[in-house]
Amino acid sequence: MDYKGGISIKLKHSIQFDYSKIGLMLIIVSFLFCLKSSVVVASNIITVDSGESLQKIIDEAAPNTTIVLNQGEYEGPITINHAINLTTELDVKVTLTNKSKEAAVTINAPHVSIKNITVRDVDIKEEPTILILSDGAEIANVQVLTDNTGIHINGANKGKINDTTISSATEEISQLYKKNGIQIYNSANWKLDNITIRNMEDGIYLERVDTISIKNSHVDGSRYGFHFMFVTNGQIENNEGSANVTGAMIMASSQIQVTKNKFVKQVENLNSQGILLYDTKNSTVSNNEIDGNRVGLYIEESSDVTFDSNMIKNNFVGLQWINSSDNTFQNNNVIGNVINIQSVGVADNHINKNFWDNASGIDIDEDGYSEVSYSINPLFYGLIKKQPPFQIFFNSPGMSFLESIYITNPELWMRDDKPKMSVELSEDMKSTSSNKFDSIFISTILLLVSFLIIKRTRRVLR
Amino acid sequence: MKKLYMLLTIISLCFMMAGCGNEKYEPQPINPDVDICVVCKMAIKDDQYATQIITKDGQSLKFDDLGDLNKWRTENGTDNIGATFVRDFYSLEWIKYEDAVYVYDESVQTPMAYGIVSFEKEEDAKKFVAEQQVGTLMSVEELAQHSWKSNREHKHDGVGHEDQAHHSNDMMNNHQSDDMGSHMHKEQKEAGGH
């Protein structure tokens, strides 16, 4: 007992005595730890020159290594089988060229990132240019030049692609041979931001995807800009589509939010539309600008979809609404279309408070809405659906006469019970318009300044 | 002489009537730039999944998937149908709907996910099943009893990536057409019934 007590006393003394030394030691140990960890980080960065074999360096790199490519041309294909980051220094131009029949880049391991490079696929083949088969992949600031599928994702979750451009390597390639820009199959939790896709088949094609957001992206010159098949919980926000066959094609999907997008000038194909919804449920289409398309908004066999505050203008046909019920269509502006709306089989929708530029209304109680409802006679559309050549009778006196006497089952017609008397822009639309006014204002000032400079220069010359 | 004329007239009439009864309905080629599916409005590729109905008044109704053709037949009836055509999976030749052999499996990817492909010869259908290691052979009579379920579920469970990588590569090599994921993928079954 004494012996133990003696030790305890000695320890107590030594602890009290060495406080300052222990503190110093702790600082030294902490410093060494920091040093050690910084050494680890430093040893996980490998710099590569363009002459070296990239595949060999990737294979030999430890997990989580950052491989920094120096400026120059590199040769593909490469396959990544463990977590690495492939990147470059800022403002360095790196091109990975692939002349093989394989994918230029195959990602087979979780948590791989590829940043700041150009990937160029030379051959035309079935394999995509970038193939992602694992979770947690990140593609950022990558330019893909290809006549194959740009990025193919299959069975991979929780990834993101941002600031990336995908375009056809051959400008004049026929639509028949084009492939999709980005295609995602059977995957979940993807975030796509600031993607630009040009001249491909479908810009972004999704099939059996759960939870995805596509934001701030642009697709043009392709077949379908954003093509959703069997997608649940998708978000398309603040994107633009122009000169495609169809801007957004949403099919057999549910819980899709299509908001603040701009789909313009989809007119070159016989079947062009701004947005097409087929067999879509529980979704929202709001604050979109659908301008100058062959058909602005096409809706078929869809239910529980809310269309709110969209601007549907200058299309040949504003809306085509076929066999869809239990949808809500409110606060939209339908302006300047050759035909505002064609509909058939549209009973049981909730349509009110929209502005129709060809509706005649009376606002007795001055609440901004007409007391006279706006109805759409389905006769003409039903006729041309069965016999397309009858389109020649559009707006003909004979057709108007037939429509005036065809009043069978008017309760089944599409009807806005309380059409709006004037155009009212939503806050989002107002901000877009104010931006336009800003640019007009700046342009006017620039024009005035130019005139002044020219005038002064003339005076000086005289 | 009069009798001879009469006989010739009767024979000609018989031939004309026989001709009327045997009106020929020919399938029309697919033009991917303008042809869209009558049911889902999606562009139709000139591939093995395209099908078509020629109505008795000569209209060609084209579909991107046999399932959509079946949907149209169910909704509109068959009274006005002159002929129905499907395509041989391998040769892409048009064949009569009634004469084809069909293979179904939920993992067979078709544009609208009905999972049915068609063949002119039974041995080709069997070859397809052997190649893909999935699929049930069906005659047109058995097709009439088919459930026509569209297999749209997202089935990924986030496991078995190594397997998936391998199978997806197989899939990429096997696929016949790039449109709408129109290729075979075996990984769903093999990765353990997601």
**pLDDT per residue over A168-196, tens digit each?**
887 777 777 889 999 999 999 999 999 99
Best probe of the B interface among A80, A101, A126, A269, by most B CBs < 10 A, is: A126
- Determine the Cα–Cα distance for residues A345 and B94; give it in Å rounded to an integer: 34
Percent of chain A with pLDDT over 90: 58
My answer on whether omega of the bond before A63 falls inside 30° of 0, hence cis, is: no
Judged against a pLDDT cut of 60, whether residue A434 lies above it is answered with no
Helix (H) or strand (E) holding B12, with range, is: helix B2-21
Who contacts B30 (Cβ-Cβ below 8 Å, separation ≥6)?
B44, B45, B46, B50, B62
Min CA distance, B34 vs chain A (Å)? 6
Lowest mean pLDDT among A8-12, A336-340, B106-110: A8-12
Cα of B51 vs its chain's centroid, Å: 5
pLDDT at site A37: 38
AA identity, residue B156: H
Q: Do A179 and B178 touch (CB under 8 A)?
A: yes
Predicted confidence (pLDDT) at residue B109 exceeds the cutoff of 70: yes
CB contact under 8 A, B112 and A133: no
| Alpha helices in A273-396, H assignment, sequence order | 379-386
Contacts of B113 in chain A (CB under 8 A): 229-230, 252
In this prediction the ipTM stands at 0.73
What pLDDT does residue A22 have? Answer: 59
Q: Which residue of B has its CA nearest to A248?
A: B42
CB of B140 within 8 Å of any CB in chain A? no
- The SS3 assignment for A420 reads strand
Q: What is the pLDDT of residue A253?
A: 96
Reported as a pLDDT band with limits 50, 70 and 90, residue A430 is low
Which residue, among B103, B174, B171, B97, has the nearest Cα to B137 in the 3D structure? Answer: B103
pLDDT greater than 80 at residue A406: no
Q: Per the CB < 8 Å rule, is B152 touching A230?
A: yes
pLDDT for res A401 = 78
Q: Find residue A284's DSSP bridge partners.
A: A257, A306
Give the pLDDT score at A359. 83
Report the chain A residue with the minimal C-alpha distance to residue B168.
A154
Q: From the CA atom positions of chain B, what is the Rg in Å?
A: 21
* Contact in structure between A336 and A394 (CB atoms under 8 Å): no
What's the pLDDT score for residue A1? 36
pLDDT confidence bin for A445, thresholds 50/70/90: confident
Q: Do B40 and A251 touch (CB under 8 A)?
A: yes
Stated pTM of the model: 0.79
User: pLDDT band at residue A439, thresholds of 50, 70 and 90?
Assistant: low
Weakest-pLDDT range from A36-45, A265-274, A423-432 = A36-45
Q: Are A134 and B161 in contact (CB under 8 A)?
A: yes
Q: What mean pLDDT do residues A359-364 have?
A: 85
Residue A217 near residue A195 (C-beta atoms within 8 A): yes
B148: three-class secondary structure by DSSP: coil
State whether residue B172 sits within 8 Å of chain A by CB.
yes
